[in-house]
Amino acid sequence: MTPSGVRSARRVVDGSHVEVVVVGGGQAGLSISWHLGRRGIDHVVLERDTIAHDWADRRWDEFTLVTPNWQCVLPGFPYDGDDPHGFMRRDEVLAWIRRYAASFDPPVVENVLVTRLREAPGAGFEVVTDQGTLTADQVVVATGGYHRPVLPAASRRVQRDIVQVHSADYRSAGALPQGGVLVVGSGQSGAQIAEDLFLAGREVHLALGSAPRCARFYRGRDCIAWLSDMGVYDIPVQAQVGGLTKRESTNHYMTGRDGGRDIDLRAFARDGMHLYGRLLDVDGTAAAFTPTAEASLDHADSVMESIKNDIDRYIERTGIQAPTEARYVPVWRPEAEVTSLDLADAGITSIVWSAGFRSDYSWIQVGVFDGAGHPTHHRGSSATPGLHFLGLPWLHTWGSGRFEAVARDAEHLAGAIASGRASQRRETAGVSG
């Protein structure tokens, strides 16, 4: 077995045919593989790098899960550590997923790049890779929805001697040049990276977006535990306010670092972090911001308090005995909004762009995408029979991006694949007869 947990002898056989090709060897691809294997469905998982490599390649050194370890459940493989209410760090997550792969030896072929997917003449699909071409009756795209890091146009106008990295490439404060750091974006990654830099003693400047926040703990429990019991993560996307537009929503920021805590940007500002509104533009070293820092902080706090209101109502409705807790009182407000800053004068030598990711399905030559480039599907199955998607945020519910929900989505999708397989066999038998 290789360190990633698969047999190194596996390879793509040019011209071969399998019932199902799974593209992507992360937690989603492994989950569907487990279910397909249990059903006796012939399949192969094609991974362009190594199993779960994104956990090593796109997370910083001090990264921790935001979700508690008890939510780390994959098919046939619950969290097996001794800290269920803790939060695994990056390397622990990677090791856990690779142990999962080793536990059932999925048919993964690593270091193979899928370059094109199209419908095959007659039926099924043609999967073109850098090592040969396969055909398949059905295909599962399990590459997630975060493919290409986004750098805004302003990044092209930043003075050249200022180092710029995307959050996907940020590793640690020590990997950046000495001096101040401007972090752009206050979603989960931006807020946590700003915290990481600040705790390392760096001079941090943070341009806020509209991201909401959530308390880590409230009334004696992790808020995620309350919300899980309330069924919030199981509400289908179609039932959410905004429907499918929820795919574009920003996750609430909090952290699992050091056992889990709130990220209170006001407290950081009180202690020396510099907060600004949304970044408008950069010209050389001149940065311009909107005067929205206070509004962004107020919005984030209001969402946090609304979640607490929901928890209060749930506790009252169910009669649960839980300790009371005082509500949050802002510890800092800006005396004045700063809308312009000279990066050089402020000693800023690097920028971390936490501007999100863009999906890239340009290799899929099948008409299953909407005008924004999102795959159209129902619970992962597209309108083109046999083409499926797994591991997308909001694939079915808010929880679809979390391990335990990926496991449930995979189980449902395996059933759909099995039904499609049975239908194909009936059609073939009918033609033969």
pLDDT digits (tens, 9 = 90+) for 198-241: 999 999 999 999 999 999 999 999 999 999 999 998 888 766 55
Q: How confident is the model at residue 246 (pLDDT cuts 50, 70, 90)?
A: very low
pLDDT category of residue 244 using cuts at 50, 70 and 90: very low
Share of residues in the chain with pLDDT > 70 (%): 92
pLDDT at 19: 97
Residue 430, pLDDT score? 55
The rounded distance, in Å, linking the Cα atoms of 304 and 251 is 12
pLDDT value for 400: 81
Phi-psi region of 371 (alpha: psi -120 to 50; beta: other; left: phi over 0): alpha
pLDDT at position 266 is 98
Name residues whose C-beta falls within 8 Å of residue 425's C-beta, 6 or more positions apart in sequence.
none
Mean pLDDT calculated for residue range 246-264: 84
pLDDT of residue 394: 80
How far from 146 is each of 27, 114, 248, 374, CA to CA, in Å?
14, 17, 12, 12
Give dist(CA 59, CA 100) in Å, integer. Answer: 20
311-333 pLDDT, tens digit per residue, is 999 999 999 999 999 999 999 99
Cross-strand pairs, 348: 180
> Which tens digit of pLDDT belongs to each residue from 150-193?
999 999 999 999 999 999 999 999 999 999 999 999 999 999 99
Closest by CA to 257, choosing from 328, 175, 167, 192, is 192
Residue type, 395: L
Q: Does residue 382 carry a pLDDT above 60?
A: yes
**29-42 average pLDDT score:** 97
pLDDT over 90 (residue 71)? yes
Confidence band of 399 (pLDDT split at 50, 70, 90): confident
- Provide the mean pLDDT of the chain: 92
| Structural domains of the chain ordered from first start | 17-147+359-432 (3.50.50.60), 149-353 (3.50.50.60)
* pLDDT above 80 (res 432): no
Euclidean distance between CA atoms 86 and 219, whole angstroms: 18
**For residues 76-103, average pLDDT:** 96
**Residue-level pLDDT at 176:** 98
% of residues, the chain, pLDDT over 90? 82
Q: Using 50, 70 and 90 to split pLDDT, how confident is the model at 4? A: low
DSSP readout, 105-156?
Answer: ---EE-S--EEEEEEPSSSSEEEEEBTEEEEEEEEEE-S-S--EE---GGGG
Say which residue, 397 or 269, is predicted with more confidence: 269
243: confidence class by pLDDT, cuts 50, 70, 90: very low
Reported confidence tier of residue 296, pLDDT bands at 50, 70, 90: very high
pLDDT computed for residue 245 by the predictor: 44
Q: In the predicted model, is pLDDT for residue 373 greater than 90?
A: no
Confidence of residue 12 (pLDDT cuts 50, 70, 90): confident
Q: What is the pLDDT of residue 249?
A: 59
Residue 420: per-residue pLDDT: 73
Q: Read off the pLDDT band of 423 (50, 70, 90).
A: low
Among candidates 195, 180, 188, 223, which has minimal Cα distance to 85? 223
Q: Is 322 helix (H, G, I), strand (E, B) or coil?
A: coil
* Residue 170 burial (C-beta neighbours within 10 Å; 0-12, 13-18, 19+): buried
Residue 146 has pLDDT above 80, yes or no: yes
pLDDT of residue 57: 93
**Res. 55: pLDDT tops 90:** yes
Mean pLDDT value across residues 103-109: 97
The closest alpha carbon to 225, from 303, 320, 298, 300, belongs to 320
pLDDT digits 0-9 by tens, 113-140: 999 999 999 889 999 999 999 999 999 9
pLDDT at 122: 85
